[in-house]
Amino acid sequence: MKTAALFCLIGVISFSEAQAKECTGSASVTVHRDNGETEYWDTYTNPNIVLLPGDSATVVFNYQQGVYCTDPQFMLWKDGELIHSGPAGPASWDVTAPGFYQTGGSGLPYYGPGAFFISQTASAPLLLNAKAWLEGPFDPDTGLMRDDLRVAGYIPHSYLSALADDALFDVTGPTAIVDGLRGASAPEMPTTICQIKQGLLLRNGKIIDPSNGGQLSFNAPPGNYYVAVGHRNHLSAMTQLPVALSAQATTVDFRDVGLATYGTEARKIVGNSAFLWPGNAGCTYVPRSPEQNYETITYTSEKLSYTGADNDRDRILLTLFSYTTGTLFGYTRADVNMDGVAKYTGAHNDRDLILQNVGGLVPTAVRLEQLP
Ligand SMILES: [Ca+2]
Ligand SMILES: [Ca+2]
- Examine the pLDDT at 19 and tell me if it is beyond 50: no
Ligand 1 centre and the CA of 64: distance in Å? 27
Question: How far is residue 201's CA from residue 205's CA, in Å, rounded to a whole number?
Answer: 6
Ligand 1 centre and the CA of 306: distance in Å? 9
Calculate what percentage of the chain has a pLDDT beyond 90: 33
Q: What is the pLDDT of residue 360?
A: 73
Q: Burial of 245 by CB count in 10 Å (0-12 exposed, 13-18 middle, 19+ buried)?
A: buried
Report which bound ligand comes closest to the CA of 351: 2
Please name the amino acid found at residue 30: T
How sure is the predictor about 118, in pLDDT bands with cuts at 50, 70 and 90? low
Report which bound ligand comes closest to the CA of 354: 1
Mean pLDDT for the chain?
75
Ligand 2 centre and the CA of 334: distance in Å? 7
Please name the amino acid found at residue 122: A
Given CA atoms 343, 295, 261, 110 in this order, what sign does their dihedral have?
A: negative
Asked whether the beta carbons of 8 and 184 are under 8 A apart, the reply is yes
Q: What is the pLDDT of residue 17?
A: 30
Question: How far is residue 79's CA from residue 339's CA, in Å, rounded to a whole number?
Answer: 41
Asked whether the beta carbons of 313 and 307 are under 8 A apart, the reply is yes
Asked whether the beta carbons of 249 and 236 are under 8 A apart, the reply is no
* Cα 169 → chain centroid: 21
Ligand 2 centre and the CA of 115: distance in Å? 33
Ligand 2 centre and the CA of 364: distance in Å? 22
How sure is the predictor about 335, in pLDDT bands with cuts at 50, 70 and 90? very high
The pairing of strands 81-87 and 73-78 is: antiparallel
* Cα 196 → chain centroid: 8
Please state which of the ranges 45-49, 128-132, 182-186, 227-231 shows the lowest mean pLDDT. 182-186
Name which residue leads in pLDDT, 36 or 161.
36
Asked whether the beta carbons of 47 and 61 are under 8 A apart, the reply is no
Ligand 2 centre and the CA of 150: distance in Å? 14
State residue 167 phi and psi, 5-degree precision: -65, -25
Question: How far is residue 349's CA from residue 117's CA, in Å, rounded to a whole number?
Answer: 41
Of 370, 337, 2, which Cα lies nearest the Cα of 198? 2
Report which bound ligand comes closest to the CA of 278: 1
How sure is the predictor about 302, in pLDDT bands with cuts at 50, 70 and 90? confident
C-beta neighbour count of 205 within 10 angstroms: 22
Q: What is the pLDDT of residue 183?
A: 46
Of 54, 40, 36, 43, which Cα lies nearest the Cα of 95? 54
pTM of the model: 0.66
Tens digits of residue pLDDT in 160-198? 655 678 899 999 999 999 988 864 333 333 334 456 677
Name which residue leads in pLDDT, 94 or 235.
235
Residue 333 Cα distances to 123, 155, 234, angstroms:
38, 12, 10
Ligand 2 centre and the CA of 42: distance in Å? 29
Which residues are placed with Cβ below 5 angstroms of ligand 2, an ion? 335, 337, 339, 341, 350
- Examine the pLDDT at 16 and tell me if it is beyond 50: no
